[in-house]
Chain A
């Protein structure tokens, strides 16, 4: 495999962006650079022949994380009475400290580079194993097969982590909150038009990505994040969402992804003597069912995480929370 000039240029841009995004004084610029960095990383994933990861990176890793950061920054800046002091993002104390730290980390990088250099340039991976077991897995996309069948246990725990983080975010915030109602004093027309025109399309694309995960890059996480995008736009454009553990429906929605995965694992374990070992004839349907429930769960979880990071869950009053005049 020869190296394209594009790869060199992309690598240089990525390194430059990383250095700049951590270095600029303005946090807003930093976060925007982070989003751009994420999109270019998605390009790098395509160059490395990983289209599934490119999708996940573009949707969740770059866009969603950037939105979470922007929400947190917006909350901090809207509440701060002090003018943003510049010294807060400047290097700590002495020059000697920073220079010696730079030398130490560069040395660590050099050792990592040497370790990588010793690894063989070509090696036989698990590609053949995955492809030979693919017909029994129930899907045609090898990455989906690995995620939901061969290494389904990892995905089970990953969905468990999402549930755990939702519970933790609720634990940090007001428990009397019932419904989040954001109403902008000046409703933005562009945002309203964006919502009207794009949310049906986004829902459609989300469900298509869920369906396409069986034979092409796609899957539950990308679909869930797309649907979460609709929810986040609703929160930003003015809407009521019942993001609270008080409703049985919401508790059900948060937990259904993890719960359905465990239930399927136990039920097939009865038949095949191993937890999460699908019988090959049923694998396709079980995988799709798990993916549907996981998508719903992931979408609700990500919208709630957005609300948690933006300070929307920090309610002081009971019942309905009106976030007045706050343009998100």
Chain B
């Protein structure tokens, strides 16, 4: 097993753990952490695949793509967090249950 294969496997496991965490846990902040973890897992897989070159140096194109990916992931996270903060400010909800409860209360 080469180091690239090991990190590719690690990337897959991290992605799967993140996916499971995204579905299972209820709190919004935890879901956003899980989304970030999924992204990190995919990036690790991509860079591990880039390290398979014949010769010593890795392929710089996936490096550039992952760099772009990290910045875009941070932007998306910031936007989601701003949405969560705004939602909390307006309704006090931090889970989907809270939102349904709030909608039900508003109806009455």
Query: Do A305 and B60 touch across chains, with their CB atoms under 8 A apart?
Result: no
State in angstroms the CA–CA spacing of A60 and B17 once bound together.
Answer: 22
Select one of A11, A47, A119 contacting B49, CB under 8 A: A119
Chain B residue nearest to A11 in the complex (CB): B10
Other A-B pairs, 6, CB within 8 Å; known A1-B4, A109-B13, A126-B59 = A11-B7, A65-B77, A72-B84, A121-B2, A305-B75, A309-B85
CB atoms of B71 and A158 under 8 A apart: yes
The 8 A CB mask of B62-105 against A (1 = contact, 0 = none) is 01111110111111111101111110110010110000000000
Interface magnitude class on chain A: 35 or more
Interface string of B37-77 (1 = CB under 8 A from A): 10010011101111111110111110111111011111111
List B contacts of A21 (CB < 8 A).
Answer: 33, 37
Query: Could you tell me the distance between the alpha carbons of A197 and B16 in the complex, rounded to whole angstroms?
Result: 43
Query: Cα distance A41–B75 when bound, in Å?
Result: 19
Within 8 A of B (CB), among A291-328: 305-306, 308-311, 313-314
How many A-B Cβ pairs are below 8 Å? 266
* Number of B residues with CB within 8 Å of any CB on chain A: 77
Interface residues of A (CB under 8 A from B): 1-4, 7-8, 11, 14-15, 18-19, 21-22, 27, 30-31, 34, 37-38, 41, 44-45, 47-50, 52-53, 56-57, 60-61, 64-65, 68-69, 71-73, 75-76, 79-80, 88-92, 98, 101-102, 105-106, 108-109, 112-113, 116-117, 119-127, 130-131, 142-143, 145-147, 150-151, 154-155, 158, 161-162, 165, 168-169, 172-173, 221, 305-306, 308-311, 313-314
B70 touches A105 (CB 8 A): no
Q: Are B3 and A48 in contact (CB under 8 A)?
A: yes
